[in-house]
Amino acid sequence: MNNELTNGKLQITPLGGLGAFGMNMTVFRYGGQMMIVDCGLMFPDEDLLGVDIAIPDLTYIEEHRDEIAGIVLTHAHEDHVGAIPFLLQVANVPIHATEFTLGLLEGKLFEFGLLDKTTTRPIPTGQSFEVGPFRIEFIRVSHSLVDCVALAIETPVGVIIHTGDFKVDETPVMGEPIDLKRLNYYGDRGVLALLADSTNVEQKGRTGSERAVIPALENIFSEAGGRVIVSCFATSIHRLQIIFDLAAENSRRVALVGRSMIRNVEVARKYGYLDVDDDQIVTPSRAKKMMPDEVCLLVTGSQGEPMSALARMSVDSHKDASVISGDTVIISARQIPGNEKSISRMMNHLFKKGSRIFDSSIARIHVSGHGRQDDLKIMYDAVRPKFLVPIHGETRQLYRHAEAARSWGVPRNRIVLAENGDVIQFDVDSAEVAEKVVVGRTLIDDSRSGRIDDVVLRDRKHLAYDGILLPIVAINKASGELESAPEIIQRGLAISDESGEFLNRARVLVGQTIAGSSYDERTDWAVIKEKIRLDLKRFIQRETGRRPMIIPVVLEI
């Protein structure tokens, strides 16, 4: 990157979160010092075989690790903090966040052996702090999680407001509502740029308050004769409080099932974000001995993940709980795109168990944590920035945010549409995409340590779609002659060949390839392997249209 561009200029570079949901990460740079806002992960599509998570490519961070003054977090959702352990292994710098955000992050740091090696600085809302050349204030915003903040970032060229994830909720289940007064304060002072969440921009109107789900949930609880099983995101602390309150009103004790549910309830109670009596929570083993109408199970697995609590309960493979006839199952969460099939499979199993199922398609038991168009306009009108930068969303959401802004009267030249890797350069009067850095994603397998490069992923797809063929030949090193007839092992190659005729013809072909090769070719393993591979490739493609992975094995005799 051209360092001359930073002289008197502010650079904001998104490394994730633009063009796709997840991996939210933004770098602020001025005068040779950098600050990172959020570092999240995303969960893979089904075609990313064997991939557990995807995180931002940290190459740019490695190249500038000596410039990084600190990390600032807006809230504790995985798409904003899930990649923090990987970031800390590249640049171990102080983390600034609200108390609850750090409380949830501690478990992740402990899991990676980083808790004692990491400096964390809890910052309350309304208090300013410094990271390098930046002075930041946390401003309270509403979201599906608690203790979420927007950032007011004072830079040498002007104030930047980063909304984080937000909606305008005047009646949250707990805590104070979004602090529009403080946002207006900065708007009155003058804001250079607003970086605003675009997730829900395609929806008109306002996003409902978290309290909007209470009436439907009240009806379900009051009508349920057996156990009530509620699955929601373990980070939806407002929703958890509602469930605990309704369980208490209906004389039900609550059992927690799922590691993240247990952990998040523990942290939320520790920091005063859940008001729950000790005797209201029981263990799953005790819940089994209670009458069904005395029990509520609060479980993970709203997205149908195969190893999650609810999915395993639906097929009787969970050690602590299962679903029985007469249960009422409430799935109080949105379907994340890409999870539709897994959720459908899980629901099919639940229906077979004789349970009654409620999801957001038949009852208002979920509201989003992201603002719709009118929420975004309320934020814009409060801040009144010189420039608007849509963030957090797929490309179409970013463009529709820009369209909505133009309908509010925002001039086209005051809207900056960027992509991951774009270096957006600001001074007091202008904003432009000055250059681009190389960005991408890093794929992590389920060991959480192994990186998966594109070659490995390509091979996995190849194996999944077309299978594998292993021709095995034994060649005498001295004479170059075959010691026995070639053998062929195949797995996953879709052929209807009950008689084995196809494989017999393939064996004959391998024998002909060796017979037609010179002595020097037959005794050079690299050469003869490649000849076998190419001849088999042409034969199989001509006969079947398939392109399996072919790995010749030559045994030296």
Active site residues: 197, 370
**SS3 at position 125:** coil
Contact 427, 437 (CB under 8 A): no
Determine the distance from the C-alpha atom of residue 308 to the mean position of all C-alpha atoms in its chain, rounded to a whole number. 16
Sole residue written with tokens 């005063």: 272
Q: Which amino acid is at 200?
A: N
What is the 8-class DSSP label of residue 432? Answer: E
CA atoms within 13 A on the CB side of 1: 24
Q: Which helix (H) or strand (E) holds 150?
A: strand 149-155
- As a whole number of angstroms, the distance between CA 57 and CA 439 comes to 6
Task: Report long-range pairs for 290-293 (Cβ below 8 Å, ≥24 apart).
Answer: 290/253, 292/225, 292/226, 292/227, 292/324, 292/326, 292/327, 293/224, 293/225, 293/226, 293/227, 293/252
Dihedral pair phi/psi, residue 339, rounded to 5°: -100, 5
Q: Within a 10 A sphere around the Cβ of 497, how many other Cβ atoms?
A: 13
- As a whole number of angstroms, the distance between CA 370 and CA 142 comes to 9
Supply the Cα-derived Rg of the chain in whole angstroms.
29
| Strand order through the sheet with 451-452 | 53-56, 441-444, 451-452
- As a whole number of angstroms, the distance between CA 481 and CA 478 comes to 8
